[in-house]
Amino acid sequence: MTLLKNLHETFGTVVNYLFLNLLWLVFSLPVVTIPASATAMFGVINYWKNTGEEDVIRPFITEFKRYFFSSQKVGVIFLGLGLIPLTGFFYVLPKLNNFENMVLILLISFTLIYLLTTVFIFPALSRNDHVNSFYTIRYAFLVSISQFHIAMIALAVTAAMILVVYVFPITLFIGSSMALVINLLFTRALDKVDLLKQKYGLAEEV
């Protein structure tokens, strides 16, 4: 009986994640709603963790509506910031003769910081009620920098998943599993930050 119960629970969990992934894909179809859809997916994972409930549709729609405008703002800002390294690598750097190495180092550094912040931006957004987009970006940035090694693991997981989806497009339907891993890593990073705050008596948020 215990084995059957465990199998039933495991099957239910897998179905929930597949359904969550389907909702994420459907709500991302307009393209411009990708930030809100991604935030909702992380929000549902947090909802499951905090409540122990297994609903999918209701919490997803609730989180989608809740963070729609704030996530869209963050998405627009991050898209604009992403143009900086693209412009640098493809248009500015090829035309430089002097200080090329310095510019290259700056571009690589900015790109790395940008990517590390990106992998934590949606789990950060789904965990706070701040509507200030710059606060959310600052929050994700500081967590990723203060826990650089965890952020690097999250970035590696994201890159690996993108590669797998590129080679095997059907795996896009299990993308919520990547969100689960990123969420766990983000939680781990927050736990580490809390320990540092306690150790050094810091009361201010990261």
pTM: 0.81
Cα radius of gyration rounded to whole Å, the chain:
19
Task: Tell me the pLDDT of the chain (206 aa) as tens digits.
Answer: 565 566 656 777 888 888 899 999 999 998 889 999 999 999 999 898 888 888 899 999 999 998 888 888 888 888 888 888 888 777 776 666 655 677 778 888 899 999 999 999 999 888 876 557 778 888 899 999 989 999 999 999 999 988 988 898 888 877 788 888 999 999 999 888 878 767 666 555 55
Report the pLDDT value the prediction gives residue 44, as an integer from 0 to 100.
92
Report the pLDDT value the prediction gives residue 194, as an integer from 0 to 100.
79
What tokens does 152 get?
């690097």
SS (H, E, C) 43-109: HHHHHHHHHCCCCCHHHHHHHHHHCHHHHHHHHHHHHHHHHHHHHHHHHHHHHCCCCHHHHHHHHHH
Report the pLDDT value the prediction gives residue 8, as an integer from 0 to 100.
58
Percentages of the chain per state (helix, strand, coil), in multiples of 5: 85, 0, 15
Report the pLDDT value the prediction gives residue 113, as an integer from 0 to 100.
92
How many C-alpha atoms does 39 have within 13 Å on its Cβ side? 28
Q: Which of 65, 49, 58 is nearest to 13 (CA)?
A: 49
The dihedrals phi and psi of 6, each to the nearest 5 degrees, come to -65, -40
The C-alpha atoms of residue 197 and residue 3 are separated, in whole angstroms, by: 43
What tokens does 179 get?
């969100």
